[in-house]
Amino acid sequence: MLPDSFLLELKYRADIEQIVGAYVQLKRRGRNLTGLCPFHSEKTPSFTVYPESQSFYCFGCGAGGDAITFVRRAENLDYLEAVKFLADRVGLQVPEGSVDDTGHRRRLRILEMNREAARFFHSCLMSDQGRDARAYLVKRGLTKKTVTRFGLGYAPESWDTLTAYLRGKGYTEDELTDGYLGVRRKGGGVYDAFRNRIIFPIIDLRGAVIAFGGRNLGDKGPKYLNSGDTPVFKKSRNLYALNFAKSAGRGDLILAEGYMDVVAIHQGGFQNAVATLGTALTGEQARLIAQYTREVVLAYDSDEPGQIATRRATGLLEEAGVGVRVLAITGAKDPDEYIRTYGPEKFERLLEGSESAADFAITRLRQSHDLDTAEGRVAFLQEFVRLMADNPSPIQREVYLSKICRDLEVDKQAVAAQLAAAIKRKQQTARKREAGQLRAFTSAAPGARGELERQKYPRQVLAGEGVIAYLMKHPDSCAWVREQVEDQDFVSPGDRELYQAITAKLSQGHPAEVVTLSAVLSEERVGRLMEITTKDIYRDQSRTEAKEFIQVLQEYRNKKSDEELGRLEGEELGRYIASQTAHKK
Ligand SMILES: [Zn+2]
């Protein structure tokens, strides 16, 4: 653990205004500074820097913390790397031996091993045993230049070629399995995870090989195999070829379905193509994309699953504030085949002609119905209404409604009434689903709970927030708060963790500041802490107000659910009623 004294010194020297200023254009606003958030795409600044507390918070995406947290996110570093990065910049020496950097060293080992493996796979591809693999790539139209640029490789059809090679280089069985290159055998030992596959190394923004994707050349096993999550790789947070695409110099990104598509699109001269890593687009990836662009062209397969994936991705991207256009690929099943068949120039024209997501969906719908018959028109309108009910923009709904009704010569009022009813039904379903989620919240993963708790116990959650905010501003009141508030009084596990971390620091006589807390809390928790401490309502909280928050927490302390109440008997029930009346006073 780094000593607090060092962290405070670092905070004093590494001025957050300067650190952030290197990435974000900041404008002074009163005591604070604002700018466009580097972590999500936005047009009006909601990213704020607080020089007084040397911290930042984005009201748009909830990112927040100190200079270390900022550098971690901006440079995609782990905690210790970020500390070193900052210390270097201001000429501070990170105290030797004060840090347990086993995790850090383990990650470095895996990254080195991955680099070795990528080189090995590439040399296999270029050697005799890679003949079939090379033939396959030639058949797919890839040039040698492209193969080198993407560092493509070949994993031979063998159980121990790579693992034996890496063992010879000194890597342990644990390291092989941790990095997902080796699989543990039941009887002991490890075997190669990738066999008889074309290998696509996945490279992060700093040029490190963090994982691998493998395309099967035989018929054993799945068509695509990807590294699972490892200490250096999280599938849901990375994108294939983002290392090239981010500096492509085009305003938008092309999001394709697979490695081969991306490689083919790049070879065609479009360096801004990326893909997810063998899974459907996640919300995290959509937010990652939002850091680089405001517009995405979806270039998924033209088949049914591709169309379903297009709709899903559209929703996630729009939620992240990214505009979506959709590529209508006709005459080929995917972008790779399209470019091979028609050439890059036609692909460019396809890109230029790509429609907005809503236009695209309506065009597809029109094509799939025979609008010359009455039945065809009715079926079309029913699906059109369903589609529009999902469209969050009232203006777009109105525009499309008018256009379709005019084109089909149908009564607009009738269709509008249908649409209104569909929207109402959708809201009812959403409400039911929310109620179901609330019931399920106790079993939910800690990270996903925050929002749900706020809906279920707004008063209790707010009171908890108030107590945390008060503690941050009045550290000398820690003992007073600690006497009255128990950890369990926080219904939100995340806020409870904050309370525990803050009171632990304070009761040891250490300062509880964002800079010292970010050493022990996750980025998400630090963001939450910033959310709480930047709220206006807690700014000049008096002790009396703090007392009220504490009372709310105590009031809820012994409250039992109806179900639990039903099981109480005799003396226990009497005690419970007494405790509840005591709080009501
Ligand atoms: Zn933001």
Residue range 491-509, pLDDT digits in tens: 888 899 999 999 999 988 8
For residue 178, give the amino acid letter: D
State which H helix or E strand residue 548 sits in: helix 543-557
Ligand 1 centre distance from Cα of residue 253 (Å): 20
How far does residue 38's CA lie from ligand 1's centre (Å)?
A: 7
Alpha helices in 131-249 (DSSP H): 131-139, 144-149, 161-168, 173-178, 242-245
Give the N- to C-terminal CA distance of the chain in Å, as an integer: 46
Could you tell me if 183 and 193 are in contact, meaning their C-beta atoms sit under 8 angstroms apart? yes
Quick check: helix, strand or coil at residue 468? helix
Using the mean position of ligand 1's atoms as its centre, give its distance from the Cα of residue 290 in Å. 10
* 437 Cα: distance to centroid of ligand 1 (angstroms): 27
Q: Retrieve residue 257's tokens.
A: 């379905």
Task: Judge contact between 63 and 36, C-beta under 8 A.
Answer: no
Of 20, 14, 87, nearest to 56 by C-alpha is 20
Ligand 1 centroid, distance to 29 Cα (angstroms):
18
Give the pLDDT of residue 443.
Answer: 41
**d(CA 61, ligand 1 centre) in Å:** 4
Alpha carbon of 314 to those of 325, 361, 369, 433: distances in Å? 9, 11, 23, 22
For β-strands 253-256 and 295-299, DSSP reports them as parallel
The whole-number pLDDT of residue 560 equals: 56
Give me ligand 1 centre to Cα 64, in Å: 9
DSSP β-ladder status, 323-326 and 295-299 = parallel
Please classify residue 273 by burial: count the beta carbons closer than 10 Å to its beta carbon, then call 0-12 exposed, 13-18 middle and 19+ buried.
buried
Distance (Å) from CA 175 to ligand 1 centroid = 36
Pairing status of strand 64-65 against strand 55-58: antiparallel
pLDDT of residue 561: 54
Query: How far is it, in rounded angstroms, from Cα 362 to Cα 384?
Result: 7
Ligand 1 center to residue 332 CA distance, Å? Answer: 39
64 beta partners: 57
Structure tokens at 579: 């405790």
Q: How far is the CA of 14 from the centre of ligand 1 (A)?
A: 22
**104 Cβ contact partners less than 8 Å away, ≥ 6 residues apart:** 78, 80, 81
* C-alpha 470 – ligand 1 centre gap (Å): 25
Q: Where are the beta strands (DSSP E) in 361-447?
A: none
Q: How far is the CA of 491 from the centre of ligand 1 (A)?
A: 27
| 57: helix, strand or coil | strand
Q: Are strands 224-226 and 209-216 parallel, antiparallel or unpaired?
A: antiparallel
Q: In whole angstroms, how far apart are CA 430 and each of 315, 317, 435, 443?
A: 16, 20, 9, 20
Report CA(21)–ligand 1 centroid distance (Å).
15
Q: What is the pLDDT at residue 453? A: 59
- Average pLDDT of the chain to the nearest whole number: 86
**212: helix, coil or strand?**
strand
Low-confidence stretches of the chain (pLDDT beneath 50)? 438, 440-449, 582-585
Q: Return the closest-CA partner of residue 154 out of 128, 182, 189.
A: 128
Tell me, what's the pLDDT at 444?
41
141's enclosing H/E stretch is: none
Element (H, E) at 288: helix 283-290
DSSP state of 23: T
- Crossing angle, helix 357-367 and helix 374-389, to 10 degrees? 160
- Which residues 6+ apart lie within 8 Å of 296 measured at CB? 252, 253, 254, 255, 289, 317, 322, 323, 324, 325
Centre of ligand 1 from the C-alpha of residue 41, in Å:
7
Give the Å distance between the CA of 526 and the centre of ligand 1.
Answer: 14
**Ligand 1 centroid distance, CA of 534 (Å):** 15
Distance 59 CA to ligand 1 centre (A): 7
